[in-house]
Amino acid sequence: MNKKLHKDILTDDDDNKFEGGAEDSSIENIKSSVEAILSELGEDGGREGLLKTPLRVAKAYKFFTKGYKEDADKILNGAIFNEHYDEMVIVKDIDFFSLCEHHMLPFYGKCHVAYIPNGKIVGLSKIPRIVEMYARRLQVQERMTREIGDLIFKELNPKGVGVVTEARHLCMMMRGVEKQNSVATASCMLGVFKSDEKTRQEFLKLIGK
């Protein structure tokens, strides 16, 4: 590739903005790997449509996996409050996007989270942020669901936590069994959500399950 053209690609303002800043050497490493993949696929990395692809892919994957650099304490940021409230709190239909760790293909869907306070509540916007933190990593749906529930249970010490995720997996839709309408559901029930059938059923009814 022409050296001047290669330099212009790397310094393009729109395509050189990524998580971690321009000094992040991992971007260059990912970019080089994508260039190698394109070559192995039989593509010409020097053609117009692919000139900026390696950098774009590197930026995208840094964004898709930004959850590795996020911290639960910073997300919660002191937004846990003492409150005398003991009824179920639900945040449902939280959209999420993640990457299957087996094929690095997307899976996406909705997450429903509920907890019953035990003297403490959390700012409602923090729950989708927790979902986002765990989703933006290489994941399996089952582990992601459990991680969300475990964190809320640990930080709030509530009477119980319930988490249900529903997702479509492109590794099932685009390859393998190629079933485009399959939806996978995973759940994590802790405390009274696990021990008390009525509480669990109330949660499932309220989220439409």
- pLDDT band at 23; cut points 50, 70, 90: very low
Predicted structure pTM score: 0.87
pLDDT of amino acid 53 = 97
Is 101 annotated in the active site?
Answer: yes
At a CB cut-off of 8 Å and minimum separation 6, what does 79 contact?
122, 123, 126
Catalytic-labelled residue, pool 35, 112, 166, 169:
169
Is 103 annotated in the active site?
Answer: yes
Is 100 annotated in the active site?
Answer: yes
Query: Which option is the CATH number for 3-64: 1.10.3470, 1.10.4100, 1.10.286, 1.10.890?
Result: 1.10.286
Is 102 annotated in the active site?
Answer: yes
CATH class of the domain whose range is 70-206: alpha beta
Is 180 annotated in the active site?
Answer: no
Is 141 annotated in the active site?
Answer: yes
pLDDT of amino acid 150 = 98
Nearest 5°: the CA angle 28, 71, 55 is 15
Catalytic-labelled residue, pool 70, 103, 155, 202:
103
Give me the chain's average pLDDT, please.
Answer: 90
Domain ranges of the chain: 3-64, 70-206
